[in-house]
């Protein structure tokens, strides 16, 4: 689980850097699919990640309003504010938490019950999914998207096997 979160944070920071070379109009332009613009997608990723981690902890969630975070700097600031709490929760994650129930009230009044392991994977997949959308929009802007590769990022240290040729 930790590996995937580290992957997501690495790629997210690469997208922040990517945004630095793109005109603000392009970052904020309304696009087809997803939640709309490039910046709003990044905002949505940050917000959803934090919100779920709050819900799992039984802490009050609050809905941030994108209107207050419409620049790259403000988004990064928000991410930095939320990250320590998310990181602490992710680092403490272990197998025994996989099947715990998470109660998620629905707009229709019902309460969905998700396993914590489902929620954590939902958060992971949520970012990757939305960054797939960013990769299409990046080509619309005429700029190469950030690679979605998990390999090549040194996320897992290899086994160092001591050869015994004696």
Cα angle 14, 49, 104 (rounded to 5 degrees) comes to: 160
Which residue, 81 or 99, is less far from a copy of itself as judged by CB? 99
Distance CA 21, CA 36 (A): 20
Among 21, 25, 159, 163, binds a copy of itself (CB under 8 A): 159
44 is in an annotated binding site: yes
Pick out residues in 118-157 that bind a copy of itself (CB under 8 A). Answer: 118-119, 121-122, 124-126, 128-140, 145, 148-153, 155-157
126 is in an annotated binding site: yes
CB half-sphere exposure, 120, CA atoms < 13 A: 23
Distance CA 102, CA 146 (A): 33
Distance CA 85, CA 7 (A): 17
Which residue, 74 or 135, is less far from a copy of itself as judged by CB? 135
Which residue, 3 or 57, is less far from a copy of itself as judged by CB? 3
- Cα Rg, the chain, nearest whole Å: 18
Q: Contact residues for a copy of itself (CB under 8 A)?
A: 3-4, 7, 31-34, 98-101, 104, 112-115, 117-119, 121-122, 124-126, 128-140, 145, 148-153, 155-159
């Amino acid at each position: 689980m930790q590996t995937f979160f580290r992957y997501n944070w690495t790629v997210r920071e690469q997208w922040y850097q990517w945004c630095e070379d793109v005109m603000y109009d392009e970052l904020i332009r309304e696009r087809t699919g997803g939640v709309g613009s490039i910046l709003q997608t990044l905002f949505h990723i940050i917000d959803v990640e934090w919100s779920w981690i709050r819900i799992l902890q039984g802490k009050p969630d609050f809905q941030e309003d994108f209107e207050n975070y419409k620049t790259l700097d403000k988004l990064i600031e928000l991410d930095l504010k939320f990250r320590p709490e998310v990181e602490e929760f992710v680092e403490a994650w272990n197998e025994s938490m996989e099947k715990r129930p998470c109660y998620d009230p629905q707009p229709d009044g019902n309460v969905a019950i998700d396993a914590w392991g489902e929620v954590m994977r939902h958060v992971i997949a949520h970012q990757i999914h939305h960054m797939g959308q960013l990769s299409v929009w990046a080509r619309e802007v005429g700029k190469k998207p950030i690679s979605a590769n998990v390999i090549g990022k040194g996320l897992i240290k290899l086994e160092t096997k001591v050869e015994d040729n004696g």
